[in-house]
Amino acid sequence: MRQKLFAIFMITLLFLCAVESQATTIRISTDQTELILQTAPDGRLYQSYFGDCLKNEAEIANIKSHGWEVYMGSGYEDYFEPALGIIHNDGNRCTVLHYVSHEQKNVTEGTETTIHLRDDVYPINVTLHYLAYAKENVIKTWSDISHREKKAITLFRYASTMLYFSDSKYFLTEFSGDWAKEAKMSSQQLQFGKKILDTKLGSRAAMHVSPFFELGLNAPVQENQGDVLLGTLGWTGNFRFTFEVDNVGNLRVIPAINPFASDYSLEPGTTFTTPEFIFTLSHHGSGEASRMMHSWARRYQVKKGNGSRMTLLNNWENTYFDFNEEILGHCMNEAKDLGVDLFLLDDGWFGNKYPRNNDHAGLGDWEAMKSKLPNGVSGLVAKAKDAGVKFGIWIEPEMVNPKSELFEKHPDWAIRLPNRQTYYYRNQLVLDMSNPKVQDYVFGIVDRLMTENKGLAFFKWDCNSPITNIYSPYLKEKQGNLYINHVRGVYNVFKRVKAKYPDLPLMMCSGGGARCDYEALKYFTEFWASDDTDPVERLYIQWGFLQVFPAKVLCAHVTNWNHVASVKFRTDVASMCKLGFDIGLKEMSKNELEYCREAVANYKRLEPTILDGDLYRLVSPYDCNHMSVMYVDANKLKAVLFCYDLHPRFNETLYPVKLYGLDADKKYKVKEINLMPGEKSNLSDQNKVLSGDYLMKVGLDGFTTRDMNSRVIELTAE
């Protein structure tokens, strides 16, 4: 008997070893990081490693499995948050995915990996996609869910991916806030249980929290050292990041569309594609992580990411709704006088039966208002041409005011409840973008403006209201699909606009910076970061957004908010991102105007360094009463340093600003620019030639104890 038992034991062992040796290993690698996935004897796929690239392939088999299933289904053996949740046709809520096959190929970016999984009981297929950008050290991942059950299945979880960590401590940096308080940074240690960052706004990703995060492994996130995961979801709607620390201290990170009120009905033979989760892992702090994300974004993701950007003058903060053709003509001349490329006409130019003279009426009726603009939009394009600037226009095409001809004609195009009093956010409703007819109408707005007004060079595309009164007349009994199909409908329109107008620059806006995600940026060249243009507040907002987005996409305008701050300070703050103005020039003195002209000229000259260079965040406004950032171009021949004093204390001790990213062996001429007319720089090293070594070790006296003071310093290799 004992012999028989031993024989059975040996056979089982041999069988297990055989299966073990057949384990499939999938390495998803950039030049620096790799994610290793392996099958186990149960035929399922597990994450076995995520970190620095491993040198010896043979040792991979030695890594112990933690039982971290790559795309965990709900209802089987795991007690924590799953990636996938399905109600099958028979009401069963359990899904277990088994590895089927995978392909990996080299592409220009790096490698593309596709992994096929299948449930062994139900006809459910999941395909996992990973695109690894070798040089930029960024990985982008998303998943496709499809099935062949008889009737529609209901998805109640549909994560983009899942990542696991096993570190001593985890520190999460989130970017929360509100309207006019975007991307404020705060950190906390994650302990047992869940921390969820999510939004339920429908038409945009953000308002109270942004769709990105930083995760410090073992220690809080630091600028230039430590392990940091920087992650973001490309989804212009409800998102949810789940960070769950389990009973043994492991962390799982689950980026996903927020399943809130979104049990999704998926028909047989159709595919549910999740948004892309984009991440980078750095061992040298958030500074390096940002630089990697920025260069990836410019190179691969953002519309015209490698192209230049137009400086502009906007009229919103200057005139609000109160303008006519003559006033706009003055603004265009002012734009020319300032030296910017484009004049941008904001809200208030349309509606006749219900004129858009305030935010109560007119949204939906995209005809030029005859009383204000007798010669229509084409008259304005021509006027701008005469003034010598380009012309751009504001639209908010996904929205409708109940006081509009559009609403009178198509009340069923608006998302609103049939059986309750309607709640209005900014007196408007969101159009139902899940309805293909509405998509056609929205595309038609842009298309008609472009076709009828040759020379129209730019759009500011706003989206002021979150979705309220959640009910789609179009989707009827499939209301669980509304939040998701709405966003997909928005993308259908964005795609059509990009296909027909591939070179058209567009600014994305959402009542400030609430649309701030990398999926929408495939279709937009830039976004409006915040309605808060107080320069001190802006420094924090820009510091926050710059963690994830390159300066090139962050629109920063000089306005009259906080007019106690000098025009120079306001302009220098806007000059560290994509510079624009939203101010009447008559409000400036002769000196201020002269200063602005020179600042615009300097900006244009230095644009390749500021907008395409590497960003180094030197001094954080969260740490002291000052802030400093610098940009260095790729060949380290030119750098621009921005130093800001916020509200320094009396007699405060000032520390030199140590520079980063220069070539230690090169010599750089130090020159403060953007000085007020007639003013001489009092920078102690003005016009000196100093080595990169010195500048990075000793630094420059960039700060002062003056309230809201700024310095812009150009460094040129000799």
Q: Which residues bind ligand DGJ (CB under 6 A)?
A: 316, 346-347, 394, 462, 464, 509, 511-512, 528, 531
Question: Rounded to whole angstroms, how far apart are CA atoms 333 and 311?
Answer: 15
Alpha carbon 314 to its chain centroid, in Å, reads 23
Rank residues 312 and 618 by Cβ distance to ligand DGJ and give the closer one. 312
Going from the C-alpha of 328 to that of each of 531, 555, 690, the distances in angstroms are 21, 21, 48
Tell me the closest approach of the beta carbon of residue 151 to ligand DGJ, in angstroms: 44
Token representation of residue 703: 């700060």
Counting runs of H as helices and runs of E as strands, what totals does the chain give? 12, 36
Question: Rounded to whole angstroms, how far apart are CA atoms 496 and 506?
Answer: 14
State which amino acid sits at residue 380.
L
Tell me the closest approach of the beta carbon of residue 290 to ligand DGJ, in angstroms: 25
Tell me the closest approach of the beta carbon of residue 335 to ligand DGJ, in angstroms: 17
Pick from 173, 110, 104: which is nearest to 137 by CA?
110
Tell me the closest approach of the beta carbon of residue 96 to ligand DGJ, in angstroms: 47
Can you point out the beta strands (E) in 405-495? 429-430, 456-461
Strand, coil or helix: what is 126? strand
Rank residues 514 and 539 by Cβ distance to ligand DGJ and give the closer one. 514
Question: Rounded to whole angstroms, how far apart are CA atoms 340 and 557?
Answer: 12
Rank residues 394 and 581 by Cβ distance to ligand DGJ and give the closer one. 394
Tell me the closest approach of the beta carbon of residue 520 to ligand DGJ, in angstroms: 15
Tell me the closest approach of the beta carbon of residue 347 to ligand DGJ, in angstroms: 4
Token representation of residue 136: 């930029």
Tell me the closest approach of the beta carbon of residue 506 to ligand DGJ, in angstroms: 13
Tell me the closest approach of the beta carbon of residue 355 to ligand DGJ, in angstroms: 15
Tell me the closest approach of the beta carbon of residue 561 to ligand DGJ, in angstroms: 12
Rank residues 528 and 642 by Cβ distance to ligand DGJ and give the closer one. 528
Rank residues 460 and 636 by Cβ distance to ligand DGJ and give the closer one. 460
Tell me the closest approach of the beta carbon of residue 191 to ligand DGJ, in angstroms: 38
Tell me the closest approach of the beta carbon of residue 50 to ligand DGJ, in angstroms: 39
Residue 312 and residue 343 in contact, taking contact as beta carbons nearer than 8 Å:
yes
State the CB neighbour count (10 A cutoff) for residue 333: 18
First-to-final CA distance of the chain: 88
Region of residue 455 (phi > 0: left; psi between -120 and 50: alpha; otherwise: beta): left
Rank residues 32 and 203 by Cβ distance to ligand DGJ and give the closer one. 203
Token representation of residue 711: 């310095």
Q: What is the dihedral of CA 59, 61, 66, 69, to 10 degrees?
A: 130
Rank residues 99 and 528 by Cβ distance to ligand DGJ and give the closer one. 528
Rank residues 484 and 509 by Cβ distance to ligand DGJ and give the closer one. 509
Question: Rounded to whole angstroms, how far apart are CA atoms 292 and 280?
Answer: 7
Rank residues 381 and 509 by Cβ distance to ligand DGJ and give the closer one. 509
Q: Which residue is nearest to ligand DGJ (CB)?
A: 347
Rank residues 399 and 618 by Cβ distance to ligand DGJ and give the closer one. 399
Q: In the chain, what are the helix, strand and coil shares in percent, each to the nearest 5?
A: 25, 30, 45
Query: Radius of gyration of the chain from Cα atoms?
Result: 27
Rank residues 110 and 511 by Cβ distance to ligand DGJ and give the closer one. 511
Tell me the closest approach of the beta carbon of residue 508 to ligand DGJ, in angstroms: 10
Tell me the closest approach of the beta carbon of residue 426 to ligand DGJ, in angstroms: 8
Going from the C-alpha of 464 to that of each of 180, 433, 467, 468, 484, the distances in angstroms are 13, 15, 10, 12, 19
Token representation of residue 595: 């200063």
Rank residues 509 and 713 by Cβ distance to ligand DGJ and give the closer one. 509
Q: What are phi and psi of 158, to 5 degrees?
A: -155, 65
Tell me the closest approach of the beta carbon of residue 198 to ligand DGJ, in angstroms: 23
Q: What are phi and psi of 213, to 5 degrees?
A: -155, 165
Rank residues 462 and 534 by Cβ distance to ligand DGJ and give the closer one. 462
Tell me the closest approach of the beta carbon of residue 510 to ligand DGJ, in angstroms: 7
Rank residues 38 and 401 by Cβ distance to ligand DGJ and give the closer one. 401
Residue 62 and residue 71 in contact, taking contact as beta carbons nearer than 8 Å:
no
Per-residue HEC secondary structure of 323-378 comes to CCHHHHHHHHHHHHHHCCCEEEECCCCECCCCCCCCCCCCCCCCCECCCCCCCHHH
Tell me the closest approach of the beta carbon of residue 213 to ligand DGJ, in angstroms: 24
Q: What are phi and psi of 654, to 5 degrees?
A: -105, 140
Question: Rounded to whole angstroms, how far apart are CA atoms 117 and 100?
Answer: 5
Rank residues 109 and 346 by Cβ distance to ligand DGJ and give the closer one. 346
Tell me the closest approach of the beta carbon of residue 207 to ligand DGJ, in angstroms: 12
Pick from 586, 615, 42: which is nearest to 318 by CA?
586
Going from the C-alpha of 353 to that of each of 365, 371, 396, the distances in angstroms are 9, 11, 18
Question: Rounded to whole angstroms, how far apart are CA atoms 540 and 627?
Answer: 9
Rank residues 465 and 485 by Cβ distance to ligand DGJ and give the closer one. 465
Residue 414 and residue 400 in contact, taking contact as beta carbons nearer than 8 Å:
yes
700: DSSP letter: B
Rank residues 349 and 644 by Cβ distance to ligand DGJ and give the closer one. 349
User: Please, is 159 exposed, middle or buried when counting C-beta atoms within 10 Å of its C-beta (0-12, 13-18, 19+)?
Assistant: buried
